[in-house]
């Protein structure tokens, strides 16, 4: 079974300040799961060139694919493109194919210096289409550089699926337990996790107006095996008073 992994770098001071609530991590992970790509790590980074360069190098070396979001707009603090180039020791320049994409939205006279910043692409990178605002993202080696605006980022993913060589798809089963908390099931859950070390077990409490409980999520690669473990664990939990 082939395991394919991804790392996600969410870039922007606005994320760290709380002014913007991130949804890109969820959307990228949801996009990758059916392709058999598991997200191994995600970080939120400030608009700091040194931090971004170091993180890109680190993630690129440790994961099969890397996704960055944010920092590729027209303003002075949009530094992601330069950081990607620096991470791989590449030159960066205004690319005509990127300009051509912008010309589908702007008249030539409207392409001022700020907007042309969005056409600066690291050498050798391939463009990622942006059907919303047309300012492209780009792929540099195993790193996909996307916009930070969620609507635009999601649209860009359409041009990435064909570039992903996925692995084994992770299957998920959920056991919903009412009237019990994590402390009630921690012991049995720990014991069954020892029996099946290749299966991921997670417990997630919930609270509703009429009571409480938790969802136990099993993740693995074989549906039949997960079904057997689900039945076994459900029976054990049903006997907990």
Q: Give the confidence band of 169 by pLDDT, cuts at 50, 70, 90.
A: confident
Domain match, 110 and 70 both: yes
What mean pLDDT is predicted for residues 57-79?
96
Q: For residue 93, is pLDDT > 70?
A: yes
- Summary mean pLDDT of the chain: 94
Domain total of the chain: 2
Query: What is the reported pTM?
Result: 0.84
Percent of the chain with pLDDT over 70: 99
Q: For residue 241, is pLDDT > 90?
A: no
Domain that holds residue 16: 4-163
60: CB partners within 8 A, 6+ apart: 66, 87, 88, 141, 142, 143
Domain match, 40 and 81 both: yes
Domain end call among 121, 136, 163? 163
65-79, 106-120, 198-212 — which is least confidently predicted?
A: 198-212
The tokens of 23 are what? 């949804």
Q: Between 208 and 212, where is the model more confident?
A: 212
Domain match, 33 and 120 both: yes
Q: Could you tell me the end-to-end alpha-carbon distance of the chain, in angstroms, rounded to an integer?
A: 39
Domain match, 48 and 133 both: yes
Domain match, 119 and 187 both: no
Q: For residue 1, is pLDDT > 80?
A: no
Rounded CA-CA distance 1/29 in Å is 20
What mean pLDDT is predicted for residues 27-32?
95
129-148: per-residue pLDDT in tens?
A: 999 999 999 999 999 999 99
Rounded CA-CA distance 134/151 in Å is 12
Domain match, 138 and 226 both: no
Domain match, 197 and 144 both: no
What CATH number has the domain bearing residue 152?
Answer: 3.40.980.10
What CATH number has the domain bearing residue 198?
Answer: 3.30.70.600
**Res 119: pLDDT:** 97
Domain match, 73 and 139 both: yes
Domain match, 133 and 229 both: no
**Res 37: pLDDT:** 95
Domain match, 156 and 177 both: no
């Amino acid at each position: 079974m082939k395991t394919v992994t991804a790392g996600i770098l969410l870039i922007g001071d606005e994320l760290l300040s709380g002014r913007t609530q991130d949804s890109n991590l969820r959307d990228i992970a949801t996009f990758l799961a059916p392709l058999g790509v598991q997200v191994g790590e995600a970080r939120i980074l400030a608009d700091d060139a040194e931090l971004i360069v170091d993180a890109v190098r680190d993630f690129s070396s440790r994961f099969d694919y890397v996704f960055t979001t944010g920092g590729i707009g027209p303003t002075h603090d949009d530094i992601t493109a330069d950081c990607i180039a620096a991470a791989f020791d590449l030159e960066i320049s205004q690319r005509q194919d990127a300009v051509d994409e912008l010309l589908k939205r702007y008249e030539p006279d409207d392409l001022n210096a700020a907007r042309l910043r969005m056409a600066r692409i690291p050498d050798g990178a391939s463009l990622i289409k942006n059907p919303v605002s047309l300012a492209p993202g780009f792929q540099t080696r195993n790193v996909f550089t996307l916009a930070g605006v969620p609507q635009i980022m999601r649209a860009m993913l359409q041009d990435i699926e064909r570039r992903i060589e996925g692995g084994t798809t992770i299957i998920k089963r959920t056991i919903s337990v009412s009237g019990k908390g994590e402390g009630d099931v921690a012991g049995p859950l720990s014991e069954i996790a020892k029996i099946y070390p290749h299966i991921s077990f997670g417990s997630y409490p919930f609270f509703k107006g009429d009571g409480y409980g938790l969802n136990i999520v099993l993740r693995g690669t074989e549906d039949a095996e997960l079904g057997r473990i689900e039945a076994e664990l459900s029976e054990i939990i049903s006997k907990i008073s």
